[in-house]
Amino acid sequence: MSEFDETEAFETGARLSLSQRAMGVRPAPYLDSLNPAQRRAVEALDGPVLVLAGAGTGKTRALTARIAHLLHTGRARPSEILAVTFTNKAAREMKDRIGALLGQRVEGMPWLGTFHAICVKMLRRHAELAGLRNNFTIIDTDDQLRLLKQLIQAANIDEKRWPARHLAGLIDHWKNRALTPERVPAEDGSAFNGCGVALYREYQARLKTLNAADFGDLLLHMVTIFQAHPDVLAEWHRRLRYILVDEYQDTNVAQYLWLRLLAQKHRNICCVGDDDQSIYGWRGAEVGNILRFETDFPGAQVIRLEQNYRSTPHILAAASKLISANADRLGKTLWTEADAGEQVRLIGHWDGEEEARWIGEDIEAMAGGTRGLRPFSLDEIAILVRATHQMRAFEDRFLTIGLPYR
Ligand SMILES: Nc1ncnc2c1ncn2[C@@H]1O[C@H](COP(=O)(O)OP(=O)(O)OP(=O)(O)O)[C@@H](O)[C@H]1O
Ligand SMILES: [Mg+2]
């Protein structure tokens, strides 16, 4: 699994030098580049903290500074910090940024990574509790579908009517909710022609025989192990004293349970998120996790970041107006010091072709300088579409007029 960085799997506490070295140095220059709200989010090190903030308000910057602060003040050693991001790229960036903030390379942060990368490291240590050996393999979607197809055929189910992909989606849905076959609720009993749960059980058994786990298992197994083995959980409580989570609005139930179990002793958990940016509902993200943080962690501090560093006031106003129509928001008001900039324009077109023609012309005009604006270079201009197929009209048009769009 090239996607996972397992190289640091077994190094904890080996290198304590970073915080030790940093402890003697008093000034904390990384605090200077923060606004007052960000600074509060960084300095409130103890107890549960929810940093609730809009797009481009410096959430990730604050989270990164918070890790630097934990290390710099000697509050935690690198191996005592659990920091979760949603992509490997974000994890790498965060590591680099912490290094830059502290003026040295960050080594020995074995628990900074994605949910999956961290869980695979944990699971290698406790594999036997999930019926696996610690050299288990992680199967990809193709292998998963192949395995499910075999099980469907063996059960004499018509694969044309009940495709493996459908079953894979169902199993994934259950795993995202931390439901083992035994825990799938009765109302799901009719799923997949009434055979869903039985096939899920067989699939899990086959994975064990193969000494394998799928993506969803990494979290599911860890949650199940923590729930069934308090001694194992206690061991992780001793090890991980500070927890930080970026993009908290995107967590699913399994990830949420895993975090809650790990945080329940020290309660030093800081989640950063935007209830308005939850875009992963289709893969099990529960915006409810962010909405009920204060209930789960009584006494939690809620810090709002509302100064936006990315957009002009006109863009913020348009976005705020649109999002204000959403239900179930915690609510926040973004503002910026940036210049007013151009007004947002809403232009309707008959069809995709006409739209592409108009946008092509506008881009050419913007590259030359138009409406009193400076000339823009093409790499400053983006086109967003709802679905990939809508890019066709643009590509056709740009090829015709010779606009380099890649
Ligand atoms: N206090 C600050 N002063 C100046 N620039 C800042 C400050 N805080 C953040 N920025 C800049 O604002 C931009 C957005 O920061 P960051 O990526 O941390 O925001 P975010 O809230 O995590 O965004 P997203 O919603 O996309 O996750 C970056 O370019 C960052 O350098
Ligand atoms: Mg961010």
- What CATH number is associated with residue 67? 3.40.50.300
pLDDT of residue 15: 42
Whether residues 230 and 201 fall in one domain = no
CA distance 231 to 263: 15
Q: Does residue 242 belong to any structural domain of this protein?
A: yes
Q: Quick one: which atom of ligand 1 is closest to the CA of 57?
A: 21
- For residue 322, the number of C-alpha atoms closer than 13 Å in the C-beta half-sphere is 9
- Closest ligand 1 atom number to CA of residue 61: 18
25 and 115, same domain (yes or no): yes
Is the same domain home to 25 and 51?
yes
> Measured from the CA of 38, which atom of ligand 1 is nearest?
1
Q: Where a domain ends, among 305, 325, 344?
A: 305
Same domain? 23 vs 119: yes
CA of 129 to the centre of ligand 2 (A): 35
One pLDDT digit (tens) per residue for the chain, 406 residues: 334 444 443 333 334 445 445 444 557 888 999 999 999 999 999 999 999 988 899 999 999 999 999 999 999 999 999 999 989 999 998 988 888 888 766 667 899 999 999 999 999 999 999 999 999 999 999 999 999 999 999 999 988 999 999 999 999 999 999 999 999 999 998 888 889 999 999 999 999 999 999 999 999 999 999 999 999 999 999 999 999 999 998 899 999 999 999 999 999 999 998 877 766 666 666 667 777 888 889 999 999 999 999 989 999 888 888 888 887 777 778 888 888 788 999 999 999 999 999 999 999 999 998 888 899 999 999 999 989 999 999 999 999 999 998 8
Q: Is 60 in the pocket of ligand 1 (CB under 6 A)?
A: yes
Which pLDDT does position 278 carry in this prediction? 67
The answer as to whether 330 is a domain residue is: no
How many residues are given for the chain? 406
pLDDT of residue 108: 74
Same domain membership, residue 273 and residue 248: yes
Tokens of 193: 């022609």
The total number of structural domains that make up the chain:
3
Atom of ligand 1 nearest to the CA of 308: 12
Residue 59 lies in a domain: yes
Is residue 316 included in any domain, yes or no? no
Which residues, listed in sequence order, are joined to residue 245 by a DSSP beta bridge? 84, 271
Q: Which residues pair with 301 in a beta bridge?
A: 49
Atom 25, ligand 1: residue with shortest CA distance: 55
| Within a domain: 325 | no
Q: Classify the phi-psi angles of 299: left when phi > 0, otherwise alpha if psi is within -120 to 50, otherwise beta.
A: left
Q: Quick one: 258 and 356 in the same domain?
A: no
The alpha carbon of residue 335 and the mean position of all alpha carbons in its chain are separated, in whole angstroms, by 25
309 C-alpha to center of ligand 1: Å?
6
**One domain for residues 88 and 237:** yes
Q: Is 263 contained in some domain?
A: yes
Backbone angles phi, psi at 134, to 5 degrees: -75, -5
CATH number, domain of 170, equals: 1.10.10.160
Which residue's CA lies nearest to atom 19 of ligand 1?
A: 58
Residue 3 in domain: no
pLDDT at residue 67 in the model: 95
**Residue having the nearest C-alpha atom to atom 7 of ligand 1:** 58
- Collect all residues with Cβ–Cβ distance below 8 Å to 47 and sequence separation of at least 6: 267, 268, 299, 300, 301
Which numbered ligand comes closest to the C-alpha of 61? 1
Per-residue confidence (pLDDT) for residue 329, from 0 to 100: 74
What pLDDT does 105 receive? 66
Q: Which domain holds residue 157?
A: 140-209
335 inside domain = no
CA of 29 to the centre of ligand 1 (A): 17
119 and 237 belong to one structural domain: yes
pLDDT at 286: 67
- CA of 60 from ligand 2 middle (Å) equals 4
Half-sphere exposure of 277 (CA within 13 A, CB side): 17
Distance CA(30)–CA(324), nearest Å, equals 34
> Are 93 and 72 contained in the same domain?
yes
Distance CA 221, CA 214 (A): 10
Residue 329 carries which DSSP code?
Answer: -
Q: Which of 209, 237, 252 is the last residue of a domain?
A: 209
Q: Is the CB of 279 under 6 A from ligand 1?
A: no
Q: Which is nearest to 225 in space by CA: 132, 97, 354?
A: 132
Q: For ligand 2, a single-atom ion, which residues have Cβ within 5 Å?
A: 59-60
The residue whose CB lies within 8 Å of the most ligand 1 atoms, and thus the one to mutate among 33, 60, 303, 336, is 60
279 C-alpha to center of ligand 2: Å? 14
The residue whose C-alpha atom lies closest to atom 16 belonging to ligand 1 is: 58
> Which of 31, 39, 52, 57 is the pocket-test mutation for ligand 1 (most atoms within 8 Å of CB)?
57
Write down the residue that tokens 């056709």 correspond to. Answer: 396
* Among candidate residues 248, 276, 305, the one where a domain is terminated: 305
* Domain identity same for 115 and 154: no
pLDDT the model gives residue 28: 80
State if residue 304 touches ligand 1 by the CB under 6 angstroms criterion: no
**Which atom of ligand 1 is found nearest the CA of 33?**
1
* Ligand 1 contacts CB of residue 310 (under 6 A): yes
List, edge to edge, every strand of the sheet that includes 269-273.
112-114, 81-85, 242-245, 269-273, 49-53, 301-305
Closest C-alpha among 174, 266, 273 to residue 219: 174
pLDDT of residue 26: 55
Alpha-carbon span 14 to 17, nearest angstrom: 9
- Give me ligand 2 centre to Cα 119, in Å: 22
Same domain, 202 and 289: no
Identify the residue whose tokens are 């969803």: 216
* Residues 231, 287 within the same domain: yes
